[in-house]
Amino acid sequence: MTDILQHIDQGVMTLTFNRLDKKNSITAAMYASLADAIENAQANTEVRVVLIQGHETIFSAGNDIADFLNHPPSGHDAPVFRFLRAIAGFSKPLLAAVAGPAVGIGTTLLFHCDLVYAGDNAAFSMPFVNLGLCPEAGSSILVPQMMGHHRAAEALLMGEPFMAEAAQEVGLVNRVVPPTEVNSYAQAQARKLAAKPLSSLVETKRLMKSGQSAQIMAQIEAEAASFGRMLQEPAAREAFGAFMEKRRPDFSKL
């Protein structure tokens, strides 16, 4: 069974994280599948909207740590960077349905979505600093832009989870519904969009994002360079070692 399910119906491509036994943690192969799907959706005239969803108990635990350490992203065409460029540059409406934890990339990908719907059990977190790393996916610009500096600093520097109501308050989430309803609600919203004129949807989104598109792409590249460098440094080695050994990291001398 594939870890990313893909389904097209009534103009909506639905991409579903399907690795529940591993908390929908994302491997390099999954990033490649997501990138392929979104690139295909961009070119496919039958696809008018893309919806990314998980399970009612979890959206995604972020990167699969073991896979990440065994296959660290390297080079411009690494699957994770292909995925990030694909969602950042996607011209059609991009939606997400989030229930349960959304960790790391599980949260930062949402800043590239046009509409986000959350279950009331959703918990968003960006714990990059706690792993000895830095923000990715353009989040060092997009998070302060949406949340304001102080709330962004709390989310990115502390790395602690914030819940669905707080996410709705800062504008990351459009609506909060029961977890068992979030995927179907987002699907209904996606179909409403798919029934609208695609040219109008695309042009409206282009105009909304035209002032920042190049900046975001450049920031994704800059973050990737810093992320790759920091991944080799002592703080990240301590954080990932502690994670694999199931102990608390010790940054007291770092």
Answer yes or no: are the C-beta atoms of 95 and 52 closer than 8 Å.
Answer: yes
Mean pLDDT of the chain: 94
> For residue 1, what pLDDT band results from cuts at 50, 70 and 90?
low
- Residues 152-199: tens digit of each pLDDT: 999 999 999 999 999 999 999 999 999 999 999 999 999 999 999 999
Calpha distance 129→126 (Å, rounded): 8
Q: Averaged over 35-44, what is the pLDDT? A: 97
Q: Averaged over 35-52, what is the pLDDT? A: 97
Q: Averaged over 225-234, what is the pLDDT? A: 90
Give every strand in the sheet of 101-103, ordered side by side.
Answer: 101-103, 123-125, 162-163
pLDDT at position 252 is 87
| pLDDT higher than threshold 80 for residue 7 | yes
Please tell me what DSSP assigns to residue 29: H
Answer yes or no: are the C-beta atoms of 106 and 59 closer than 8 Å.
Answer: yes
DSSP 106-149: HHHGGGG-SEEEEETT-EEE--TGGGT----TTHHHHHHHHH-H
Angle at 182 between CA 180 and CA 188, to 5 degrees: 125
Calpha distance 111→128 (Å, rounded): 16
- Residues 242-253: tens digit of each pLDDT: 988 889 999 988
pLDDT at position 17 is 98
| pLDDT higher than threshold 80 for residue 92 | yes
Q: Averaged over 190-211, what is the pLDDT? A: 96
pLDDT at position 18 is 97
